[in-house]
Amino acid sequence: MSIFALVDCNNFYASCERVFNPSLLGKPIVVLSNNDGCVIARSNEAKELGIPMGAPYYQHKSFIQKNNVKVFSSNYQFYGDMSQRVMKSLSMMLPNQDVEVYSIDEAFLRLDGFVMRDLFDWALGVRNNVLQWTGIPTSIGIAPTKTLSKIANHVAKKQTQNGVFDLRDTDLQEYIMADLPVEELWGISRRWGKKLRSIGISTALQLKNTDPKFIQKKLSVVVERMVYELQGLSCLNLEKQVAKKSIMSSKSFGTLLKELEPIEQALSTYTVRACEKLRQQGSKAKGLQIFLQTNPFRVDQHQYRNSLKFEFDLPTSDTAIIIRVAKTLLRQIYKYGYYYHKCGIMLFNLVSEEYQQGHFFTSQDSSRDSLMRSIDIINKSMGRETIFYAAQGVKQDWKMRRNNLSPRYTTNWEELAKVY
């Protein structure tokens, strides 16, 4: 019999901000998107105030200030490190590494080997350990399938005091699903929800009791598998992380840019990030594409967008080489007179770093791979950009606005929490 658990970090970004700042406990918190644009995360207290997800910050700024809501810019480096700590904690408590990291704040666990244990008490222990080791509160839903564990987690978060809910009992499953709108099921899009309602299916229970083959004919095999999952038949196993086939790195500028030099600095910085991710998954790139664009929402300004591709003779993960090519492409598509809003780079046709192929006219210096690894190790242990490329610039006035950024408590030596 299959048993799954979904572990979900509660209000993850807001919880991260509270770990090293306990004065935030019980206070309403919102976290903003790039350039402090929109609300992308809220604590429960902020939700109760009625601040909507995705709300433009400038439109709600006076209300937020009036209600003493704590505002933070996105601190992705800090959040990413805290996520890794949570996932590592979960892996330590499972003997066979049966963990699928589903997102930055969610993980599926496979618990077949724990069938003889009291899984409710075990899950309480997991939740307490994660809280003690990382400071992050979680909710855990237990069920025979991944889809049902998603439902169980929803109940654990919204309707329980202890943050754990066991949904293995079939009668309890039907009771919960009877009042669950079909649109709230994991993987059901608004379009699919509308189509299901058009054929008389409005709740999760009604979908469960429908003939799977009928659903396949009317919608897709994906929704057919969901029906089986709702019936307690596991169709979705844990997915192991696989190397990406492409890597993208891009951000909007903190201010519109007209000159080429700051755009080159931004593109070089994004290239460094992409190359770090490339080497982290043990890959090299056969090609790259860069793009440059104005802000399409500024109808008062002239618009321009362009992109260009390049393919290497031999796959590479050498940051210096990729920066040089990216800057060359940028100079070809850059046009003076426009106010640019965003640029980025995509590395594509990724292959294993073990990939070997000879070439008549070019060769690679293996010492460069060792140099790249050394730089990555130093930057990981001493803090990002301890070693950086001159092409990235020093002042970096183009960086995205983050006027409410909290310290990077766990990833920057100069911003470690101080104890007096």
Catalytic pick among 45, 106, 229, 264: 106
Q: Cβ distance 172 to 193 under 8 Å? A: no
Q: Which residues pair with 110 in a beta bridge?
A: 4
Pairing of strands 164-166, 138-143: parallel
Is residue 183 annotated as a catalytic residue, yes or no?
A: no
Write the DSSP assignment of 194-262 as a string of letters: HHHHHTT--BHHHHHTS-HHHHHHHT-HHHHHHHHHHTT-----PPPP---S-EEEEEEEEEEE-SHHH
Q: Cβ distance 26 to 40 under 8 Å? A: no
Residue 44 to residue 367: CA distance in whole angstroms: 52
* Number of C-beta neighbours around residue 241 at 10 A: 8
Residue 275 to residue 371: CA distance in whole angstroms: 13
DSSP class of 405:
P
| Active site residue ranges | 106
